[in-house]
Amino acid sequence: MKATDIEPVMLVDGSAAAAAFTSGRADVYSGSLGAIKEDIDSGKSRVLVYGEDLGILGATAFAARNDVIGDADKSKALAEFLRRLRTHWSWFAKNLDVVEKIYVEKRKQTLKRAKYFASVSSAAFVPIRHLQKLKMRYP
């Protein structure tokens, strides 16, 4: 799957994202679990992984509707997305000096501010096969 295969959705906030997800206008959701809890509790959707299990405290959960998980192509694309995200964060942690430079050049941050944001913005992903061993809150 290439970036051009993804149709991004522009939404104003987490509530709009949750509404798009629960109505079927968005295939996946990342954010506060409370916003989609009824779909999770009813079994219409499933949590793929919790942000805290990935070392990303700001992203509460990555979830997908069952019809998306059941679609072989979409399920494969989800796995590839998570693999790429894990690769990104692995690179990020090993290249803070480069990240700081990007923050200075592209975000126009001071070096002091760039160092701060680089140090607090990293995350760590673990392979899904390891997460399957964890006891999930929603089976």
8 or 66: which leads in pLDDT: 66
Q: CB of 49 within 8 A of CB of 125?
A: no
Q: Which tens digit of pLDDT belongs to each residue from 47-85? A: 887 776 766 655 566 778 888 888 888 888 888 887 888
Q: Give the three-state DSSP class for 93.
A: helix
Mean per-residue pLDDT, 131-139: 46
What pTM was computed for the model? Answer: 0.49
For residue 133, how far is the Cα from the chain centroid?
20
Can you tell me the mean pLDDT for 88-116? 89
Say if residue 2 is exposed, middle or buried (CB neighbours under 10 Å; 0-12, 13-18, 19+). Answer: exposed
Question: Rounded to 5 degrees, what angle do the CA atoms 91, 68, 20 make?
Answer: 90
pLDDT in tens, 24-49: 988 888 877 777 878 888 999 988 87
What sign has the CA pseudo-torsion 124, 128, 130, 131?
positive
Residues constituting the chain = 139
Dist CA 89 CA 84 (whole Å): 9
Helix intervals (H) in 6-123:
14-23, 37-42, 51-54, 66-70, 72-94, 96-106, 111-120
